[in-house]
Amino acid sequence: MLSGICLVSGSDASEAGVGKFFERLMKGGKQSHKPNVREVDYSQYPTSESVPRKIHYFWQGPIALFRKHVNAINSTAEINKASYEVRLHVVPIEGEKIADFDALLKHVKVKDLRQERWFADFKKTPRYAQFLASRDGERAHPASGADIIKSELIQRKGGVWNDVDNKPLKPLPAALSVPKGKVLTAGPVTFNRWGEVLGFHSSSFATHRGNDVLSAINVESFNKFHQLKNVIYRIHPQTDNPDEHFRMISETAGSLHFSRALMNVDPVLRKEIADLATKGEHFNQSLVIFDQYIEPVVTTGAGFLDKKQLETAVIAMSGQNAVFADDPNAVVLLRDKAKRGEKVHIVI
């Protein structure tokens, strides 16, 4: 179950508590899009496909922010080195080099995403515009870009995806297999802030190379983006409310989109997630496996608040039912940042 929001701005840990107000900020929001992907009859497929023995990570941004994830990545690489190659795909910022990342990591192959062949092919597709918008839009959202990269990379190359802040619990099985067209996932979560939607987090998953079902889900993500391209990563009244903005992003390319779309086309996965949630359990021996090997993140993505979004947050926090009524310093903190026009980096 998601436990709320953590705000991170610079290195001041005292600011982390401010983000909790999003946990109860303006519940509701827009109705979700329904995936147009048809339900698939898996009985036509062979019993299983091998999952390539590679664990993939992605990072875009300054190395200073990356450093806090180094221990988790190195630990994962260490305990899985006998069976898996670990790769970090990086888009370094200006002035930083791949070698800077390589120097921090052990048993990890660091690759410049911009030089990879699969990424060159991806740049020729319409969805590349979605990735660029998530990076360069007026209200860019780096974690949304990572969601796009993870789904495209794993669809093409196969293997295991792992978010950089996940911590290993024990080694993955030496070999993983999955029925063709299916995906191995993390355990059930309930998106309480967005209407108690049952799904699973996309921080860890795996599949075989060339998963056509995942490809269709990626197309659906782009179709949603295309409908919202003048809104989703731009300064717009519909994105002024941070919570509604993050929901829009998650429904378009994040965990809400991924879990809803995949559960829509896979009745077996849908039943497994529901059954586990009912029992209060987190994994089984079929498709929902990763919580026994990896401690999943309990957040739903990182982004930034600009001045207008900060002002909206301050208004919400300063009201009669303000979440942080017992912490006036939190309101003052955001109000001061709003006046200065500063952006605040948050993890929700």
Q: What DSSP string describes 246-291?
A: HHHHHHHTSHHHHHHHHHHH-HHHHHHHHHHHHHT----SSSB-GG
User: Are the beta carbons of 181 and 40 closer than 8 angstroms?
Assistant: yes
Say yes or no to pLDDT of 332 above 90.
no
11 has a pLDDT exceeding 70: no
Tens-digit pLDDT profile for residues 289-317: 999 999 987 554 555 667 677 667 666 65
The three-class DSSP label of residue 241 is coil
Summarised one tens digit per residue, pLDDT across range 19-53 is 444 444 333 333 333 334 444 444 444 568 999 99
Rounded average pLDDT over 111-130: 98
Residue 67 pLDDT > 60: yes
pLDDT value at residue 47: 67
Q: Please provide residue 303's backbone torsions phi and psi, each rounded to the nearest 5 degrees.
A: -160, -165
Asked if pLDDT for residue 261 goes beyond 50, the answer is yes
Does 7 have pLDDT greater than 50? no
- Provide, rounded to the nearest whole percent, the portion of the chain with pLDDT above 70: 72
Question: In this predicted structure, what is the pLDDT of residue 78?
Answer: 98
- Residue 218's φ and ψ, nearest 5 degrees, are -65, -40
Residue-level pLDDT at 234:
96
Q: So what's the pLDDT on residue 196?
A: 84
Percentage of residues of the chain with pLDDT beyond 90: 66
Burial of 1 (0-12, 13-18, 19+ CB in 10 A): exposed
- Among 76-90, 95-109, 147-161, 313-327, which stretch is predicted with the lowest mean pLDDT? 313-327
Per-residue pLDDT, 308: 72
- The H or E element that residue 205 is part of is strand 204-207
Over residues 43-69, mean pLDDT: 88
- Sorted by sequence, the CB contacts under 8 Å of residue 221 that are 6+ apart come out as 127, 130, 148, 151, 252, 253, 257, 261
330 pLDDT above the threshold of 80: no
Query: In sequence order, what are the beta bridge partners of 325?
Result: none
Q: Which residue has the higher pLDDT, 313 or 204?
A: 204
Which residue type does 149 have? Answer: I
pLDDT at position 340 is 59
pLDDT 10s digits, 147-182: 999 999 999 999 999 999 999 999 999 999 999 999
pLDDT of residue 16: 36
pLDDT of 140 higher than 70: yes
C-alpha neighbours within 13 Å on the C-beta side of residue 237: 0
Tell me what pLDDT residue 317 has: 55
Task: For residue 180, give every residue at least 6 positions away whose Cβ sits within 8 Å of its Cβ, in sequence order, or none.
Answer: 42, 45, 46, 48, 49, 208, 211
Averaged pLDDT of the chain: 82
pLDDT given for residue 198 in this prediction: 94
Whole-number pLDDT of residue 79: 98
What's the token pair of residue 299?
């957040």
Mind listing the pLDDT tens digit for each residue in 242-253?
888 999 999 999
Q: Is the pLDDT of residue 346 over 60?
A: no
Residue 207 has pLDDT above 50, yes or no: yes
Question: Where do the domains of the chain lie, and which CATH numbers do they carry?
Answer: 46-293 (3.90.550.20)
Asked if 269 contacts 185 with a C-beta cutoff of 8 angstroms, the reply is: yes
Query: Among 69-73, 198-202, 336-340, whose mean pLDDT is lowest?
Result: 336-340
Dist. CA 153–CA 284, nearest whole Å: 26
* Paired residues of 162 in beta bridges: 204
